[in-house]
Amino acid sequence: MSHLKSFLKNKDHAGVQFIKYAFCGGVAAFADIVAFFLLAWLVFPALTSDETIVKLFHLDIVEVPKHIREINFVIANGLAFLISNTVAYLLNILFVFRSGKHSRLKEMGLFYLVSGISVGLGTGIGYLLIHSFGFTSSISYVAKAISTMLINFLARKFIIFKH
């Protein structure tokens, strides 16, 4: 038990930090996925009958025109971002990075700003994949997730938190 406690408290070793960042990122990504797909299914219809998740869970969906689906994709991503970014911030300050480089308010502001920019870019990519190439929302979501993960780690490690 003391090894686990030591592991969770260690914020200096780069390897340990990366492992914890990946795990915390996975938890935040799970929160984002759940929030996005629930919103895209139940609140802002953005799913098509071709979606893997629709087929896997036999979801009853509301088919909407492509231009509505594009807008709903963006809205659902924005709301999911607020939820998952709060999860990510809390996990990052508890287990991964050292706070204190900036005041708490500035730190949170930078965290959300960087995340917002990366999610905005990723959501834009997802929108273009739907609009220009007719990709499913699921494929567009994965493209968004990969681009945001890469930008966020680098900015959090070198700009927002102490290292």
Q: Please, are residues 91 and 27 in contact by the beta-carbon 8 Å criterion?
A: yes
pLDDT reading at 7 higher than 70: no
The percentage of residues in the chain with a pLDDT greater than 90, rounded to a whole number, is: 59
| Region of poorest pLDDT, from 12-26, 27-41, 83-97, 126-140 | 12-26
**Tens of pLDDT, residues 46-86:** 999 999 999 999 999 999 999 999 999 999 999 999 999 99
Res. 88 pLDDT band, cuts 50 70 90: very high
pLDDT band at 9 (very low <50, low <70, confident <90, very high): low
**Beta carbons within 10 angstroms of residue 43's beta carbon:** 12
- Tokens in use for 33? 């996925």
Say how many C-beta atoms besides its own lie within 10 A of residue 75's C-beta: 15
One-letter amino acid at 106 equals K
CA dihedral 110, 118, 56, 62 (to 10 degrees): 90
DSSP state of 135: -
Answer yes or no: is pLDDT of 1 > 80: no
